[in-house]
Copies of this chain bind each other. A is one copy, B any other.
Amino acid sequence: MRPLATAEIIAVGSELLTPFRIDSNSLFLTRRLNDAGLVVRSKSIVGDDRVVLASVLRAALDRADLVVTTGGLGPTDDDVTREVVAGVLELPLEENPGVLEEIRARFERRRVPMSEINRRQALVPRGARVLDNPNGTAPGLWIDAGQRIVVLLPGPPRELEPMFEAGVAPHLVSPAGARHLRRRVLKITGRSESQVEEIAQPIYSKLGDADVPIETTILASPGLIELHLQAAGPDAALLERRLDEGRTALAAALGSVVFSDDGRSLEAVVGDLLRTRGWRLAVAESCTGGLVLGRLTDVPGSSAWVAGGVVAYANDVKTGVLGVPAALIAGHGAVSEPVAVAMADGVRARLAADIAVSVTGIAGPGGGSAAKPVGTVVIAVSAAIPAVRTFAFPGDREMVRRHSSAAALDMVRRALLP
């Protein structure tokens, strides 16, 4: 087996050239190719178009050791990948009796007659290795084309991913001396991208110049900053060690704003902290309108540590269901620290929870004022040591809601830290 250093990915399908669909298979493929030490140099998306696909494939074969295509392996005339690849590589297509038998058997099991067009899926370029597809009719193909490898995979992720794991990944095992690629991710909330940069910059410029250079990328979205560390080289164990050191140095410098260095989401971290204490959480939400609860209950097994919550969008729900005194709302406004505290205390008492968090704010576009502009959000935690904070979040309705849900989860996390 030759060492493979570079890869390109070609997604085939006219639906991927509409304004409605995006190719996301390449994220899975990139991760797994990186794991095997390959660098992805380019990705392409083409329609069901023989001429364009042939042109893109030729260019990819000029640049990369491995070309992976996804999609276009179905039985209809629109499915052109098999023929175009065979054409470009100048390999004859031959009907494979074994594959034909598999397809026939599949139809029989489903008690559906096999239609003649499905014979096309049994065509295999001479010399290719067939990749079984237990989850669909289209088999994949591994073609060893002299200096290059071309792998053809079906488009649906539930067919593509198991096929890659079973038929492709084991054949990408790097020979001795090949390049490995390893990664770490630090997740941070409660700081802006530039604040994180300022603290992290001196460290990751050092990491970049070390014996094993570590490449650092910062990704920012509302309420979440991710620092990705990546290193490549021949010695996988050394990469792991250096990445762990880099992760430790960055985590120490950034402090408690780092909530996860093992891939867990903020809601999963909060869940694990609650589970450790045997506590149940309750939530009272106004402007986030269920987002905080939605994130928490997204975690499998969350019924063990989420009691539930109240979405109190209307003021009479704040008073009637949560027991917030109407005078408090009249005196301070619904978006105020006294009201947030009363909401958190109220939901904690009514749901008999051990800890509670409340969110009240102005997500916009309407509802802002000079004193309390859009983005003003108050979050309170009801616990042995209570907390309340007023935030001024930037951005539009969606951004304010996302920032608010992250800040609420983070205040719960901080209240639970040992």
Binding site for B on A (CB under 8 A): 15-24, 26-28, 30-31, 34, 40-47, 49, 52, 55-56, 59, 62-63, 217, 219, 226, 228, 280, 283, 285, 287-294, 296-298, 300-303, 306-314, 316-317, 320-321, 350-352, 364-367, 397-398, 401
Beta-carbon contact of A15 and B219 below 8 Å? yes
Beta-carbon contact of A280 and B314 below 8 Å? yes
Q: How far is the CB of A284 from chain B (nearest CB, A)?
A: 10
Find the B residue at minimum CB distance from A366: B301
Q: How far is the CB of A289 from chain B (nearest CB, A)?
A: 3
Q: How far is the CB of A136 from chain B (nearest CB, A)?
A: 15
Beta-carbon contact of A43 and B45 below 8 Å? yes
Beta-carbon contact of B20 and A228 below 8 Å? yes
Contact of A289 among B296, B397, B398 (CB under 8 A): B296
Beta-carbon contact of B22 and A27 below 8 Å? yes
A125 to B105, CA, bound (A): 61
Find the B residue at minimum CB distance from A44: B44
Q: Which residues does chain B contribute within 8 Å of A297, judged by CB atoms?
A: 287-291, 311, 313
Contact of A316 among B47, B311, B352 (CB under 8 A): B352
Find the B residue at minimum CB distance from A321: B350
Beta-carbon contact of A398 and B44 below 8 Å? no
Contact of A398 among B298, B302, B310, B312 (CB under 8 A): B298
Contact of A49 among B41, B47, B226, B352 (CB under 8 A): B41
Q: A311-B310, A317-B351, A397-B300 are in contact. Are A21 and B219 (CB under 8 A)?
A: yes
Beta-carbon contact of B21 and A22 below 8 Å? no
A317 to B309, CA, bound (A): 9
A291 to B290, CA, bound (A): 6
Q: Which residues does chain B contribute within 8 Å of A44, judged by CB atoms?
A: 42-45, 56
Q: How far is the CB of A196 from chain B (nearest CB, A)?
A: 16
Beta-carbon contact of B311 and A309 below 8 Å? yes
A294 to B405, CA, bound (A): 11
Q: Which residues does chain B contribute within 8 Å of A291, judged by CB atoms?
A: 290, 294, 297
A19 to B401, CA, bound (A): 26
Beta-carbon contact of A46 and B52 below 8 Å? no
**28 pairs, A vs B, C-beta closer than 8 Å:** A15-B217, A17-B30, A17-B40, A18-B228, A19-B30, A21-B219, A22-B22, A22-B27, A41-B49, A41-B52, A42-B46, A42-B56, A52-B63, A55-B59, A288-B294, A289-B298, A293-B293, A297-B313, A300-B364, A300-B397, A302-B313, A303-B314, A308-B311, A308-B321, A310-B311, A310-B321, A314-B351, A320-B351
Q: Which residues does chain B contribute within 8 Å of A219, judged by CB atoms?
A: 15, 20-21
Q: How far is the CB of A412 from chain B (nearest CB, A)?
A: 15
Beta-carbon contact of A289 and B310 below 8 Å? no
Q: Which residues does chain B contribute within 8 Å of A311, judged by CB atoms?
A: 283, 290, 293, 297, 306, 308-311
Find the B residue at minimum CB distance from A396: B300
Q: How far is the CB of A400 from chain B (nearest CB, A)?
A: 12
Q: How far is the CB of A348 from chain B (nearest CB, A)?
A: 12
Q: Which residues does chain B contribute within 8 Å of A19, judged by CB atoms?
A: 27-28, 30-31, 34
A20 to B228, CA, bound (A): 10
A49 to B64, CA, bound (A): 14
Q: Which residues does chain B contribute within 8 Å of A296, judged by CB atoms?
A: 289-290
Beta-carbon contact of B45 and A17 below 8 Å? no
Find the B residue at minimum CB distance from A397: B300
Beta-carbon contact of B20 and A22 below 8 Å? no
Beta-carbon contact of B300 and A289 below 8 Å? no
